Amino acid sequence: MTQCLHFLKIQCFTEQFTQSINFDDILKMLKVLLEKKDVSQIENLHSLFLKTIDTKFSSISAYGKIEKYLSADSQIQLHKDLGYYLVNKELWESIKDIIIEQSIKEFDELNKSANSKGKKSKSSADSSNNDFHKIYEDYFKDLALLETLYNKKMLILEVS
C-alpha cells in the first residue's frame, strides 16, 4: 500500500512548552483537543494548530517501512479517523532512514546519468555538481529541519 507522507509542525504549543513536558503528555493533550471533533471540524482547525512543513524534496512514499507504527490501534495516532501521528523515536528513525535512502537513490541515478554521457564537458560537469548540490540541499537541510522539530516534540506525520 503506497501512501504519501507529509510533515506538519504543532503550532498550538510553544517550543518552550513542548520542551518542558514529556512526549506522552503532549500526545494526550493533542488527543484531547481532537477526540470529540469530527473530521470536518478538525480539517477546519488544521490551520489553527498545525502548520504544513514545505519540504524541498519530492514527496516520499514508503508506507511499508513505517506501517507497523501506524496501525489502527497506534498509540501515537492523534484521531481515529485521520492519518495524523505524533512522531516518536521509533517512527523518527524509520522516517530518517527513508529520507536518506531516497537521497542516496537520487545521487546514484544522477551519477549513472553523468557517467553514461562519457567524457563530460566543463559545462556538463558544472551542471552535475549543481545537481548534486541541489539534492544535498533538498534532502539534508530538510532532514535537519525535521530532526529539529522532532527533538522539540513538535513533529507530526500525516499519511494520505
User: Hey, CA dihedral for 148, 149, 153, 155, is it positive or negative?
Assistant: negative
pLDDT at 128: 65
pTM: 0.83
Give the tens place of pLDDT for each residue, 41-98.
777 777 778 999 988 766 676 667 888 888 878 899 998 888 899 999 999 999 999 8
Residue of 100, 107, 106 lying closest to 140 (CA atoms): 100
pLDDT at 27: 96
**Cα separation of the two ends of the chain:** 11
pLDDT at 29: 94
Place of cell 500526545: 27
- pLDDT at residue 125 greater than cutoff 70: no
Q: What is the count of structural domains for the chain?
A: 1
Residue of 45, 62, 59 lying closest to 10 (CA atoms): 45
Asked if 69 contacts 13 with a C-beta cutoff of 8 angstroms, the reply is no
pLDDT at 71: 80
Alpha-helix runs per DSSP H in 13-71: 15-20, 23-35, 39-49, 63-66
pLDDT at 127: 65
In a 13 Å sphere around the CA of 113, the CA atoms on its Cβ side amount to 13
In the chain, the amino acid numbered 137 is: E
* H or E stretch at 10: strand 5-10
Give residue 137's domain range: 5-159
